[in-house]
Amino acid sequence: MNPAAVIFDLDGVLLDSEPRWNEAKEALVRETGGSWRDDAPRVMMGMSSLEWSRYLHDELGVPMEPDAISRDVVRRMRDGYRRELPLLPGAREAVESVRKRWPLGLASSSNREIIDLVLELSGFGAAFRVAISSEEVARGKPAPDVYLETASRLGVDPTGCVAIEDSSNGMRSAAAAGMTLIAVPNPHYPPSEDALALAAATVEVVGHVTPGVVESLPEPRPVGARVGG
């Protein structure tokens, strides 16, 4: 396959950040007298900041307005990233090798402020032609909105794009946008089998995403292939 563009997710694909997001949210819930639930991390995966801040308010009982909730969690994340950016092994190599062949986009559920900070701290700013936050579209993942908007800003047909995702909702989002999917299953929150079945290929770590792997993706998209053991 020779795609028009390759679009990466951020959290769980390039950054080992899902546990940090959940630690920040849980800390806020407990500090403000709310009720944290064990299933909250899975429920919130893929939600935009507008969605998860409402969830913390409405469902977990945080006695703050949603915009204040979002600002508090972002502050905690920002401070943590400035101390240490949790880039996943192979993330830099994957981005640098793939960008030499195709335009790159970033389609993330993170807040815009966090995306911009990560691009600055990682030095990836020049690598990604377009970076879109789910807070900038109508619906978060699993809706396709953030992927469709990223393709639109890149000026390409979404069905000609390859998406790299780690979570069930992210995989469903990319597939709903009509993109060919490479799955990098999140070890902290493993995706469901039905979500994995949407992928044209599965790799164990993002460092296995190379131009050769992208070129080897078949068209039309089958399911369940595994590469890069």
| Tens-place pLDDT, residues 102-114 | 999 999 999 999 9
Per the DSSP assignment, residues forming a β-bridge with 2 are none
Percent of the chain with pLDDT over 90: 91
Residues 99 and 201 in one domain: yes
> Is 58 noted as a catalytic residue in this protein?
no
The verdict on 71 and 156 lying in the same domain is no
pTM of the entire predicted model: 0.88
Residues 12 and 125 in one domain: yes
Instruction: Please compute the mean of the pLDDT values over residues 197-221 and round it to a whole number.
Output: 91
Instruction: Give me the domain span that covers residue 122.
Output: 5-16+87-215
pLDDT at 223 over 70: no
Query: For the residues 130-141, what does the mean pLDDT come to?
Result: 95
Decide if 11 is catalytic.
yes
> Residue 221: inside a domain, yes or no?
no
197 close to 41: Cβ distance less than 8 angstroms: no
Note whether 186 and 148 are same-domain residues.
yes
105 and 203 in a single domain? The answer is yes
Question: Residue 161 forms beta bridges with which residues?
Answer: 5
Q: How far apart are CA 159 and CA 196, in angstroms?
A: 18
Same domain, 25 and 41: yes
Q: What is the mean predicted confidence (pLDDT) over 40-64?
A: 94
Which CATH number do you get for residue 133? 3.40.50.1000
